[in-house]
Amino acid sequence: MANFFRDNEDIQFLFRHMDVGAIAEYAEEGYRFAGQSEHAPATAEEAIRNYELVLEAVGQLSGDFIAPRSEDIDRQGNTLNADGTVSYATGIAESLRALARAEVMGFTLPHRFGGLNFPNIVYSIAIEIVSRADASLMNIFGLQGIAETINAFASEEIKQKYLHDFAAGKVTGAMVLTEPDAGSDLQACKLRAYQDGDGNWRLHGVKRFITNGCGEVLLVLARSEQDRSGGLGLSLFVCDRGPTVHVRRLEDKLGIHGSPTCELFFDHTPCEIIGERQRGLVTYVMSLMNGARIGIAGQSMGIAEAAYRIARDYAASRQQFGGPIEKLPAVRDLLIDMKIAIEAGRALLYETSRVVDIEIGLMKIAENPEADKEKAKEAKNLLRKIKRQAAMLTPMSKYLCSEMCNSVTYDAIQVLGGSGYMRDYACERLSRDARITTIYEGTSQLQVVAAVRGVCGGTFEKYIAELAEMAYAAEMKDVLDLLATGTEQLLKAAAFAKEQGIDYMDLYGRPLVDIAMDLIIGYLFCGQASSQVAMDVAVAGEKTNGEVQTVSMTQRKAVVARRFVTTNAPKITSLVERICSGDKTSFSDYGALVGPVPEQA
């Protein structure tokens, strides 16, 4: 029986390596819920055991139940019925019911609504596991951020109305943000929100590209201030899917066929406002989007893991030129790069989730009127730093993991050759599913623009200094020296780019962010190689004709860290030279370089 948690040694190692107990302390608010709820833990040990039991259950469900349905789901897709309702693919409907029975549809919701009250780090692991089984199902399972947003900003009445049903898996939701003429530029949103003669809010207009737009609970960004353009004219609303919400079409997509993407028409739909007017985009949707971006990073991890496993198995079993093709240097390097890239993405994603959990925990302390004044003051001071770190790491994670996912699925097809292009293997489906990850919830280009502010604005410098000051194993000194040199190079490049102005900084945003991520991950790998976690892992022994040997995970991670950092060191030097070149031909010679707009046939 397959278990996608238990068969992934890297996930298990990181679960033990990261200080999940400290995160549990924040999530459970000092374990003050113990005794108030049946499932609320009383200690860190109890919380960690709860997390592990649920991840085991999700892993078993994903391996045994969800994954076998993924191929049929991809071929069947969803159906827009004559009455305007949408029917999920059979496997999606079955999997959603199974997840609801497993009581994991309220992963991060508080105990008082029937939720698990788990931290984001555990939720990120669960998202990766589910996504490995079926990426399109994750698009519904991973929309729990809608319930989180209601919990964070809505009135108590609205919370009571919706959150119990979310936690029980009785309803699903949708983030209704994008419009035909307002894609990534949400400030251009036009859907109208107005109050009728009785003072009740209503929605009128069209939304497009809405994931799970057929869900029962819709969070809608709309223009509540008709005389005000831009983000400050927008508010956030919640409404039920009802007779005035029409699914006009289902998009015919390249991938994630099990996830319905809808065009919606709101015909004077009754709704309720979330929080305060004019804070819909700036406060509420930005919070929602940040959570969604971490979710897409987790989805990317699951897709990449699934593709790598197919490629690794094929390379070991496919005989060509007198032996398995993994003996060929070119194939061997592909597999090594794929494996390390996945572990790099996972390291950054889990670290980001950890920082976000600390941010949420500190906010609860700082905003709690009953908290000790000194403790609240300390939390507020630390919160300023943690917020900046989370604001930098979140777009980095989404950018890195989604780009990695596309690269790994592409290379998986290459390892399989012609077979990878055929539907006999899941690689072609995984590559189609991967393609959307660099686009939705903000393209890679937008993630870079968001992250480079932290790289050049001082957040990276302070964060990397904290990483550099941590205790590491003595044998990692040469690797740490390379990271220190790379940090000096990046800080020089960032200062130069900043002096040239915002346009130049954005022009070279990608190499700046790429270097920053390589350095952060390098330190995270060194930390893993210095871990106190006692865990053995199987490796193939070259000197014993491929027979399986066992080494400690920290020994293996030291090998990974050294390969990752030494490979990236010359790349960092090259990118820094490029950044500091002062080349502005993208501005001055754009017309000559790209030519005129070609005529369309």
Q: Which CATH superfamily is domain 173-278 in?
A: Butyryl-CoA Dehydrogenase, subunit A, domain 2 (2.40.110.10)
Q: β-strand 217-223 against 173-176: which pairing, if any?
A: parallel
Whole-number pLDDT of residue 540 = 77
Which pLDDT does position 227 carry in this prediction?
87
Residues 443-585: name the CATH superfamily: Acyl-CoA dehydrogenase, C-terminal domain (1.20.120.470)
pLDDT tens per residue across span 359-411: 999 999 998 888 788 889 999 999 999 999 999 999 999 999 999 999 999 99
Please state the rounded mean pLDDT for residues 179-191.
Answer: 84
Claim: this prediction has a pTM higher than 0.85: yes
| Residues 142, 298 contacting (CB under 8 angstroms) | yes
**Domain map of the chain by residue range?**
1-171, 173-278, 289-441, 443-585
Fold: same for 173-278 and 443-585? no
Q: Tell me the pLDDT band of 180, cut-offs 50, 70 and 90.
A: confident
Residue 535's pLDDT is what? Answer: 93
Percent of the chain with pLDDT over 90: 91
- Range with lowest mean pLDDT among 319-333, 365-379, 410-424, 460-474: 365-379
What is the average per-residue pLDDT within 83-106? 96
- pLDDT tens-digit readout, 214-267: 999 999 999 999 988 888 999 999 999 999 999 999 999 999 999 999 999 999
Tokens representing residue 100 in the block: 């609801």
**DSSP, residue by residue, 505-537:** HHHTHHHHHHHHHHHHHHHHHHHHHT-----EE
The Cα–Cα gap between 339 and 344 comes to 9
Pick the CATH number of 1-171 from 1.20.1580.10, 3.40.50.150, 1.20.140.10, 1.10.540.10: 1.10.540.10
- Which residues are CB-neighbours of 407 under 8 A, at least 6 positions away? 338, 341
Specify which residues 250 forms β-bridges with: 262
> Positive or negative, the Cα torsion across 108, 112, 113, 116?
positive
For 36, other C-beta atoms within 10 Å of its C-beta total 9
Tell me the CATH number for domain 289-441: 1.20.140.10
Confidence of residue 542 (pLDDT cuts 50, 70, 90): low
Mean predicted confidence (pLDDT) in 176-198: 89
- The strand pairing partners of 318, in sequence order, are none
Q: Residue 71 in 3-state DSSP? A: helix
Per-residue model confidence (pLDDT) at position 181:
80
